[in-house]
Amino acid sequence: MERVSLPAASTRLPAGDASSPLGSGALAPERYLDAAATAPLRETARAAMAAVYDDLAANPSSVHQAGHRSAAVVETARRDIAHSCGVRAADVVFTSGGTEANNLAIIGLALANPRGRHLVTTPIEHPSVLESCRYLERVFGYELTLVPVDGHGRVTAADIARAVRADTTLVSVGLGNAEVGTVQPLPQIAAAAKRVGALVHTDAVQAAASLPVSMHGEEWPGAQIDAMSIASHKFGGPQGVGALLVRAGLKVEPLLHGGGQEQGRRSGTENVAGIAGFAAAVRECIATVGTRALTLMASRDELIGRVLSEIPGASLTGDPRERLPGHASFVFAGVSGESLLVALDMAGIAVSSGSACAAGHDEPSPALLAMGRAPEEAHAALRFTLAAPLAARIIERIIATLRREVTGVNPRGSEAAAASAVRQAAH
């Protein structure tokens, strides 16, 4: 079961808190290594939200001047997010977050475009993707095909091509996996799906803040993505707001019924301040995505190298090359990921033992099981996701803490490492 370490009182991660039991600066970004769960709030996002609240934040559907000002904030944010993500403003549907965006994409597109009753996805997707597919399977009689992944969590375009058929309605494959960081070959996957006329959705919640994305082919020629899910808090915006980027003109059956906001695709009063903060975070994040990725990759690779060479029984999960820039994930043979998480938390390092959306479940990671890991290994996962480059002293603290915990709990680490290597080679 994952326990996500969060700030006790203040969400101002960069400042730290001298009264914290972990000491001054304990929540600085370089010690907060759980950005895949939520990224620290950017000051630009905080300022954008404050400006909205200072101006009353009227209902954007109201016809008075204050309402018009709120509507203008929403539409400006829509244009900014569209420009940053390589889509049109009409493609942006604001939601309450990535989970709602995934539900709206899968259920909404499948029900509104009934060319068949067949869905294709993989077993390592976010629960909101898998459960939306299972809902359609259970309630509407859809057939669901889960395309296997390899030991690194990769699925190939050839695998998708073999799975799709004439009655395939929708193919949904996440761009970057939250648990192990593997990046999928999405342009090729989309091309395979389009050969049979299927719609294509990608959950880009984890990837959009760290990789160039586009639905219309500027970065991915011929990608032909129909819908893409993103979430504000992965960019450093506020929690509780996200968007489904869906090709304008494509029918979407709404999940929420009411006043017909968001072009009739998502009813409910828009979260004006949250949307403003979302757009500010996206603008700043995407403007520096290339340079930030390079610095995070350098820290990521140094951390991976040190862990694999110095910690007995450590094994990298996910693709060693095609992975998210700030993502390093491991299993530790014979050691509980939970115990390592707690030890690092006490050392002032915030990490997680898997997807934050699976918190509260004491089951081995379904993603790791699908990748061929043994149940005991799937219980021994630890995920480091960087919000900022790592200073040398932070890497030293991580290595020292892991070495102490692993050698203390697992003194025969070399034997456990050998057994783990044999299992991994058989995957």
- CATH of residue 309: 3.90.1150.10
Average of per-residue pLDDT across 317-344: 94
Tell me what pLDDT residue 357 has: 53
From 256, 286, 316, the end of a domain falls on 286
Angle at 165 between CA 162 and CA 171, to 5 degrees: 80
Give the pLDDT confidence score for residue 402 in this predicted structure.
Answer: 96
- 55 band by pLDDT with thresholds 50, 70 and 90: confident
Identify whether 416 is part of a domain.
yes
- Residue 419 confidence (pLDDT): 47
335 plus 351 within the same structural domain: yes
Average pLDDT of the residues in 124-131: 98
Decide if 189 is inside a domain.
yes
Same structural domain for residues 396 and 295?
yes
Question: Coil, strand, or helix at residue 265?
Answer: coil
Confidence of residue 354 (pLDDT cuts 50, 70, 90): low
H-helix segments, 20-178: 43-54, 65-85, 98-103, 109-112, 127-140, 157-163
Q: What percent of the chain has pLDDT over 70?
A: 85
Strands 227-231 and 242-246: antiparallel
| C-beta of residue 279 within 8 angstroms of C-beta of residue 77 | yes
- Confidence band (pLDDT; 50, 70, 90) for 218? low
The pLDDT, as a whole number, for residue 362 is 67
If asked whether residues 239 and 293 sit together in one domain, one would say no
Query: Looking at per-residue confidence, does 115 or 37 come out higher?
Result: 37
User: Are residue 198 and residue 63 in the same domain, yes or no?
Assistant: yes
Model confidence at 3, in pLDDT bands (50, 70, 90)? very low
Is the predicted pLDDT of residue 216 greater than 60, yes or no? yes
Q: Are residues 258 and 303 in the same domain?
A: no
Q: What is the mean pLDDT of residues 247-274?
A: 94
Residues 268 and 400 in one domain: no
Confirm whether 131 is domain-assigned: yes
Q: What is the pLDDT of residue 248?
A: 81
- In a domain, residue 97? The reply is yes
* Cα–Cα distance list, 25 to 22, 135, 411, 423 (Å): 8, 45, 33, 41
pLDDT tens, position by position, 375-389: 988 888 999 999 999
Over the stretch 135-167, which tens digit does the pLDDT of each residue have? 999 999 999 999 999 999 999 999 999 999 999
Tally of structural domains, the chain: 2
Looking up residue 181, the CATH number of its domain turns out to be 3.40.640.10
* Digit-coded pLDDT (tens) for 161-192: 999 999 999 999 999 999 999 999 999 999 99
**DSSP sequence for 13-46:** TTT--TTSTT-TTTTSGGGB-BTTT-PPPPHHHH
| Domain span holding position 221 | 44-286
Helix or strand or coil: residue 279? helix
Active site residue 133: no
The rounded Cα 2 to chain-centroid distance in angstroms is 16
Of the residues 270, 286, 302, which one is the last residue of a structural domain?
A: 286
**Model pTM?**
0.87
Residues 301 and 262 in one domain: no
Sign of CA dihedral 356, 357, 361, 366: negative
Q: Are residues 259 and 311 in the same domain?
A: no
Taking only the tens place, the pLDDT of each residue in 90-102 is 999 999 999 999 9
What is the per-residue pLDDT across 225-251, written as a single tens digit (0 to 9) for each?
999 999 999 999 999 999 999 998 899
Please tell me whether residues 322 and 344 are part of one structural domain.
yes
Does the structure show a pLDDT above 60 at 329? Answer: yes
Structure tokens at 107: 């259920």
Residue 10 lies in a domain: no
pLDDT tens track for 391-422: 999 999 999 999 999 988 444 444 444 445 44
Cα 362 to Cα 260: distance, rounded to the nearest angstrom: 40
Query: What pLDDT does residue 223 have?
Result: 64
Report which DSSP code applies to 183.
Answer: B
Residues 35 and 66 in one domain: no
Mark whether 197 and 340 lie in a shared domain. no
Scored b (16 or more CB within 10 A) or e, 43-66 reads ebbbebbeebeeeebbebeeeeee
CA 206 vs CA 125, 180, 191, 213, 306: distances in Å: 11, 11, 22, 12, 25
- pLDDT value at 266 more than 70: yes
Tell me: do 34 and 167 sit in the same domain: no
What was the pLDDT predicted at 212? 86
CA dist., res. 182 & res. 177, Å (int): 5
The tens digit of pLDDT for each residue in 70-83 reads 999 999 999 999 99
Q: What is the number of residues in the chain? A: 427
The mean-pLDDT minimum among 105-109, 123-127, 334-338 falls in 334-338
* pLDDT score, position 222: 54
Q: Which residue has the higher pLDDT, 337 or 223?
A: 337
Last residue of a domain, one of 286, 315, 342: 286
- Structure tokens, 171: 């193919």
